[in-house]
C-alpha cells in the first residue's frame, strides 16, 4: 500500500535570535533549507527511497558553505576540518558512519558506502583508505574552509585563553541532518557535521554515532540530532527516542522528554528532528533557534529558524 511521504531537515541548533540576524542572512539560510528540501522531495515524489532522499538533502546542505558540514565545516583547534557523519535505514536497520575524515567532500556519501560494506563505522585514515578503495575522489582539507569559520576559530581560541565558559560554544553549532518516510512506508535518517569549533585530540561527537545522533527503525521513528554532542552521547538521544515511541509514547512527547529532561538536565543543549512511521514530525530544541524545514506530500515546503515556530 502506498503511504504519503514526508521529509524534515535541520541545519543546526544554537543561539539564533531574530534580533541578531539580518534579513539577508535569514533569506540565505531559508533558501538553502528550501533547496535541500526540494532535493529530497524530488526523490520521494518519484517513488524513491527514504534513504536516497535523506542523502540528497544532506548532500545539498554539506555543499552549502553556510552550514557546519562538508564545505563550511568548523575548524579543529589545530586548524583542520574533521568531519563526522552517519546514516541509518529503518526497514533493515542497516547503518553506516564515518568520523574524523579530512579529505572527503561529502561524508554522507561515504557513510552509504560503509553501510553497503560489512562494517558500520570507520574512522579517520582507515575511512579514507576505504574511500580510496571505493573510488572516492579526495579534496584538499582547505577546500572546505570559509573565512567565517576561520574567524570563529580565532575567537574560540582567544576565549579559551581567557577561560571563558562553554556558553560560547553554543554559537558554534550547525550540523545538518534529514529524516524521511517514503511512499513505501520506510524510514531513514542521516546526519553530517564538522563537529564543534576548536575541538581537540580526535574528538568525535554524536553525529557519527548510531543511537546518539542518528537512528531509524520502521517500528518506531527516524531521528537526527544537533547540539552539544557530549550530552547527546551521554543521553543516547536518538535510540532512546525510538525505544519510547516503540513502547507507545507519542513522537512529540518522546522527543521533548529527551531534549528537555535528559539533555537539558545534564546541562546540554540542542535539538532533534524526528519522523514516525505514521508520518508525524517533531522538532523540539532548547536553544534559542534551530534551522529547520519540512515538507509532506501534498503540502508546501516550510522553513523555520527561531523558537516562535517561524
Which residues form the catalytic set?
A: 175
Contact flags string 74-113 toward ligand ASP, x per CB under 6 A: ----------------------------------------
Stretch that binds ligand ASP, among 48-56, 169-177, 244-252, 260-268 (CB under 6 A): 169-177
Q: Which of 11, 195, 239, 288 binds ligand ASP (CB under 6 A)?
A: 195
Query: Which letter, b or e, does each residue of 8-40 get, where b requires 16 or more Cβ atoms within 10 Å of its Cβ?
Result: bbbbbbbebeeeeeeeeebeebbebbbbbbbbb
Q: Which three cell numbers stand for residue 72?
A: 563550511
| Residue 61 backbone dihedrals phi, psi, to 5 degrees | -75, -35
| Residue 108 backbone dihedrals phi, psi, to 5 degrees | -65, -30
Contact flags string 240-279 toward ligand ASP, x per CB under 6 A: ------------------------------x---------
Residue 248 C-beta: closest distance to ligand ASP, Å: 28
User: Which class for 41: exposed (0-12), middle (13-18), buried (19 or more C-beta within 10 A)?
Assistant: buried
Residue 47 C-beta: closest distance to ligand ASP, Å: 32
56 three-state secondary structure: helix
Q: Which of 206, 217, 262, 276 binds ligand ASP (CB under 6 A)?
A: 206
User: Distances from the Cα of 113 to the Cαs of 51, 76, 86, 264, in angstroms?
Assistant: 12, 26, 11, 35
Identify residues 12-51 at the interface with ligand ASP (CB under 6 A). 12
CB atoms near residue 296 (< 10 Å):
20
Number of residues that bind ligand ASP (CB under 6 A): 15
How far is 131 from 278, CA to CA, in rounded Å?
Answer: 36
How far is 269 from 44, CA to CA, in rounded Å?
Answer: 31
288 near ligand ASP (CB under 6 A): no
- Number of helices (H), then strands (E), in the chain: 9, 12
Residue 241 C-beta: closest distance to ligand ASP, Å: 15
196 near ligand ASP (CB under 6 A): yes
Q: Which of 88, 173, 209, 258 binds ligand ASP (CB under 6 A)?
A: 173
Residue 124 C-beta: closest distance to ligand ASP, Å: 15
Residue 231 C-beta: closest distance to ligand ASP, Å: 9
**Max Cα–Cα distance, the chain, nearest Å:** 60
Q: Which of 57, 76, 224, 226 binds ligand ASP (CB under 6 A)?
A: 226
3-state secondary structure 197-241: CCECCCCCCHHHCECCCEEECCCCEEEEEEECHHHHHHHCHHHHH
Q: Which of 90, 229, 239, 268 binds ligand ASP (CB under 6 A)?
A: 229
> Which residues contact ligand ASP (rule: CB under 6 A)?
12, 68, 173-175, 193, 195-196, 205-207, 226-227, 229, 270
Amino acid at each position: 500500500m502506498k503511504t504519503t511521504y514526508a521529509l524534515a531537515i535541520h541545519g543546526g541548533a544554537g543561539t539564533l535570535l531574530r534580533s541578531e540576524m539580518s534579513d539577508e542572512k535569514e533569506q540565505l539560510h531559508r533558501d538553502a533549507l528550501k533547496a535541500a528540501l526540494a532535493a529530497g522531495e524530488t526523490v520521494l515524489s518519484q517513488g524513491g527511497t527514504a534513504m536516497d532522499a535523506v542523502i540528497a538533502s544532506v548532500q545539498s546542505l554539506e555543499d552549502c558553505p553556510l552550514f557546519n558540514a562538508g564545505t563550511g565545516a568548523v575548524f579543529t583547534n589545530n586548524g583542520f576540518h574533521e568531519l563526522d557523519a552517519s546514516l541509518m535505514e529503518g526497514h533493515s536497520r542497516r547503518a553506516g558512519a564515518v568520523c574524523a575524515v579530512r579529505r572527503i567532500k561529502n561524508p554522507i556519501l561515504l557513510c552509504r558506502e560503509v553501510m553497503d560494506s560489512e562494517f558500520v563505522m570507520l574512522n579517520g585514515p582507515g575511512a579514507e583508505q576505504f574511500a580510496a578503495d571505493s573510488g572516492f575522489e579526495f579534496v584538499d582539507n582547505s577546500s572546505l574552509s570559509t573565512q567565517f569559520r576561520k574567524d570563529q576559530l580565532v575567537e574560540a581560541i582567544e576565549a579559551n585563553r581567557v577561560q571563558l565558559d562553554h556558553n560560547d560554544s553554543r554559537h558554534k553549532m550547525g550540523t545538518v541532518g534529514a529524516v524521511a518516510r517514503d511512499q513505501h512506508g520506510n524510514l531513514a535518517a542521516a546526519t553530517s557535521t564538522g563537529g564543534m569549533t576548536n575541538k581537540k585530540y580526535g574528538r568525535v561527537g554524536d553525529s557519527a554515532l548510531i543511537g546518539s545522533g542518528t537512528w531509524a527503525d520502521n517500528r518506531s521513528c527516524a531521528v537526527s540530532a544537533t547540539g552539544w554532542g557530549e550530552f547527546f552521547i551521554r543521553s543516547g538521544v536518538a535510540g532512546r527516542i525510538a525505544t519510547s515511541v516503540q513502547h507507545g509514547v507519542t513522537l512529540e512527547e518522546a522527543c521533548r522528554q529527551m531534549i528537555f529532561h535528559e539533555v537539558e538536565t545534564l546541562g546540554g543543549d540542542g535539538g532533534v528532528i524526528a519522523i514516525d512511521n505514521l508520518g508525524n514530525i517533531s522538532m523540539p530544541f532548547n536553544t534559542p533557534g534551530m534551522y529547520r524545514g519540512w515538507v509532506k506530500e501534498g503540502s508546501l515546503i516550510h522553513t523555520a529558524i527561531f523558537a516562535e515556530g517561524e
